[in-house]
Structures are given as structure tokens and as C-alpha cells.
Amino acid sequence: MLQEVHVGHKSLADYQSMVVKPLVEEIRELAEALKGMRVLHINATSFGGGVAEILYTLVPLMRDVGLDADWRVIMAAQEFYESTKLMHNALQGNPQGLNKAQQDIYEEQSRLATESLGGGFDFIIVHDPQPLLLRHFAGDLGAKWIWRCHIDTSSPNPELARYMLPFVQLYDAAIFSMDKYVFEGLDIPIKVYMPAIDPLSTKNMVLSPEDADYVVSQFGVEPGPPLLLQVSRFDPWKDPLGVIDAYRLVKKEFASVQLALVGSMATDDPEGWAFFTKTVEHAGDDGDVLILSNLNNVGNLEVNAFQARADVVIQKSIREGFGLTVSEALWKVKPTVGGNVGGIPQQIREGETGFLVDSVDQCAERCMWILDHPEEARNMGRAGKEHVRANFLMPRVLRDYLRLFSELTK
Ligand code: UDP
């Protein structure tokens, strides 16, 4: 089944003062020719993770510029998500792919979901592998179909890539976040667009230091001592265990340092719980380590407060499609330490807008340098914010889609 997600209202005019002027002009011009066209976004979850984050802003902005845009989520049996999580991991390089039974579940559930799709769309944008097969089962329905892959597919499990290729090939275009993620052998129009953040969302709007302190103090963060932070799903690829190890090294030099690991439980991520427990066990009974999730009522505003309060933001991923959390931190002028993978190096320019690391030791070293050099670190944060302003704010993503729609309509 496909379930509608309700989104609030947003207006492009509100973003005008934050992005460069020609961008807004180009959006208005492109939108003029596309007015009234029906656009449907489909993904696997309305909560948790970067795709949902983007769609909550992109869909209302598309509506604001005159498109008839909607968002639906694929709702399927639990085994479907077990199969698609395996796919997700295999696309990011895990050797374990799907067996025949898991493929059958994936295909059957996709077919069932297609039954509630309906018709009359001009563009259908399918995000990530979970709803990929809808195009195969639905036929083209007179729409242009776009597959938007958000994950790091630079070295996928070859067997799984072979299985998926013919399904992707049915699309009118595909979008990847980086050149190196483009599937080998794919022979349809391809675009490389990076994601972006919403500077006006509750997650990214400006919070005063006092408000941020107040919010995080309710979760046990002490106001004085330094705070290291990682915000991400509890997922091995995000390496929260490595973050705890790096924190322990920092703790040897900065005895009062605190660590917060903030991670939501996405509904399409059955592994989340097991890995959450593993992370809690790894932290042991250290009272300066806080492990929080949406189940502790950490919503967007709280994530914002943690990011605003942090002295160092870490995103120590081992694989990463893009890593919206990095742009979120840079936007808040935070010195940021990120794994040198996926889209992180696009956001962190080594030594200029933050630091890139390949190991626990390096991560700890960079955190300590930042704590020792607050002035220099702040300047890095400032450079980071301007880099995000120029490249990673949502109106640019809107422009990218409108450009693609006009190309596909010609
Ligand atoms: N996020 C959140 N609460 C959490 C953990 C993550 O709101 O407890 C958000 C985070 O702020 C970011 C998104 O989820 O906006 C994660 O996107 P990213 O691209 O970093 O990673 P993904 O989860 O898509 O792999």
C-alpha cells in the first residue's frame, strides 16, 4: 500500500534572503512552464533519515511554486523491510545480498504496493531501492519516472547490482549524489545532484545559546564542560562505537568532556534496535555519555539544540551517501569532524571547513585540536556556513528538480 504523507506549507519567498538571488529567479522561471503538473514522490519512511528530512521541505516548496506535488510512503510487511535493509547494506558494499526467498518478498510486496498507485501523474520520483520496483509493476502510466538514489553505491555487491540494473533501466532518468555512485552499465539520462538542508526548519533555525543550553540540560548535558556530538541513526555505517572510542581518548586529556549520541529509530530500519543496544553496551556506565533517541522525545528542535550547543560535531561514518548532519552542523557554525567518505568531503574541506578522518585516533586528535583552539575552530565553522549557503540549501535542490522536469518534458 502507498500512504499519503501530509506536509505543511512553505514559501520560497522566505528563503530569498538566505540564498543567492539568481537562484530564486531561475526557480520562478522554470516553474512557470511547469505550473499545475502532477508530481509524486515515493519513499519508504516518513520519519528518520535524510530522505524524509528532504521531502518535508521539498514537497511544500514544489507546491509553492505551482506544481501539484504529493508524497507517499510504501507500507509493506515487515519482511519487506528486512529484504530492503539487506539491499541497502549490499548496495553500500556488504557481501551479503538477497536470497531467492528475500527477492520474492521484495517483488511481491512491491507489486501489491502498486495497486494503490492510481494515475494522472506527470513525474514520479522514486527514492532509494525500497520502492524501485513500482515502475516495473505499474508500467509507465504516462508519467516520466525518475529514480533518486541517495546512498553510497560506489562499490555495490555486484550480484545485487546486476539484479537491480534492469529495474533502474526502466526509468526515464536517475539521480545520484555523486559521480562515483552511478551504477555501472546504466544507460538512461543521469544527473548528479547533492542533497541540501532547510535553513528554516525547526532543525536548522537559529536558536540562542541560552535556549540551546536549556533544552539540552533537560537531557543531562552539563552547561560548562565541552560537548562532543554525533547525530545519526544507530547503524554500523555511522560508527557510533568508533565515536565512543574516540571520546575515550579525548577524555584522557579533557577529563570533563561529555559525549552525546543522538539517533532516531527509522521505521524502515529493523536493525536499529539491535545496534542501539550494542552502542549502549559499548558505552558502559560512563555518566558523561548520553545516548538518546526519538523515544526520549528528541525531535527536530532538540537535535537543533544539541547541534547548537556542541563544541565539536562528529560524523564518523564509514560509508555515507551524503551526510545531511554535516551540513546541519556547518550551518550552525560548528567545527565538524567527519569520516572521509561519501558526500562528507564535499561538505568538509580539510582544514578549511572542518576535518576529515579515517580512524578513531585521528578523530580524537582532531577533536582535541578543536577544543584547544576555539578561535581557529570558530573560523572554520564560519567558512563551513558560507560553503553550505552557497551549495547545500534546499532551494538549490528545488532548482535541480525543475531543471530535470523541463528537460524531460521537452
Ligand atoms: N536525525 C534526526 N534525529 C536523530 C538522528 C538523525 O532528526 O536522532 C536526522 C538528522 O538530523 C539528519 C537525518 O536524520 O537530518 C540524517 O540524514 P543523513 O543524510 O545524515 O543520514 P541518513 O540517515 O540519511 O543515512
- CATH class, domain 209-391, is alpha beta
> Using a 6 Å cutoff on CB, does residue 233 contact ligand 1?
yes
Interatomic CA distance for residues 151 and 320, integer angstroms: 7
What is the rounded distance in angstroms from the CA atom of residue 67 to the CA atom of residue 354? 38
Predicted local confidence at residue 295, as pLDDT: 81
Q: Residues 2-196+393-409: name the CATH superfamily.
A: Glycogen Phosphorylase B; (3.40.50.2000)
CB of 50 sitting under 6 A from ligand 1 = yes
Predicted local confidence at residue 294, as pLDDT:
77
3-state secondary structure 193-253: CCCCECCCCCCCCCCCHHHHHHHHHCCCCCCCCCEEEEECCCCHHHCHHHHHHHHHHHHHH
Grid cell for residue 111:
507489486
Specify the pLDDT at position 92: 87
Residue 225's region, left for phi above 0, alpha for psi from -120 to 50, else beta, is: beta
Please tell me the distance from the alpha carbon of residue 94 to that of residue 104, in angstroms, as a whole number.
20
Which residues, in sequence order, are bridge partners of residue 69? 39
Amino acid occupying residue 296: N
Residue 177 in grid coordinates? 549524489
Nearest CA to ligand 1 atom 6: 232
Residue 359 burial (C-beta neighbours within 10 Å; 0-12, 13-18, 19+): middle
Residue 267's pLDDT is what? 63
Would you give per-residue pLDDT tens digits along the chain (410 residues)? 999 999 999 999 999 999 988 999 999 999 999 999 999 999 999 987 789 999 999 999 999 999 999 999 999 999 999 999 999 999 988 999 999 999 999 999 999 999 999 999 999 999 999 999 999 999 999 999 999 999 989 999 999 999 999 999 999 999 999 999 999 999 999 999 999 999 999 999 999 999 999 999 999 999 999 999 999 989 899 999 999 999 999 999 999 999 999 997 766 677 788 899 999 999 999 999 999 987 888 999 999 999 999 999 999 999 998 999 999 999 999 999 999 999 999 999 999 999 999 999 999 999 999 999 999 999 999 999 999 999 999 999 999 999 999 999 98
Q: State the pTM of this model.
A: 0.92
- Enumerate the β-bridge partners of residue 229: 260, 313
Say how many Å lie between the CA of residue 49 and the centre of ligand 1.
4
CA dist., res. 236 & res. 238, Å (int): 5
- How much is the pLDDT for 219? 96
CB atoms within 10 A of CB 277: 11
Exposure string for 192-214, b = 16+ CB within 10 A, e = fewer: ebbbbbbbbbebbeebeeeebbe
Closest ligand 1 atom to Cα of 266: 23
Domain residue extents for the chain = 2-196+393-409, 209-391
Q: Is the CB of 198 under 6 A from ligand 1?
A: no
Distance CA 86, CA 225 (A): 40
Closest residue by CA, ligand 1 atom 9 = 49
To test the pocket of ligand 1, the residue of 84, 92, 232, 295 to mutate (highest count of ligand atoms within 8 Å of its CB) is 232
DSSP-derived secondary structure letter, 48: S
Task: Assess whether the C-beta atom of 357 lies below 6 angstroms from ligand 1.
Answer: no
Matching fold, domains 2-196+393-409 and 209-391: yes
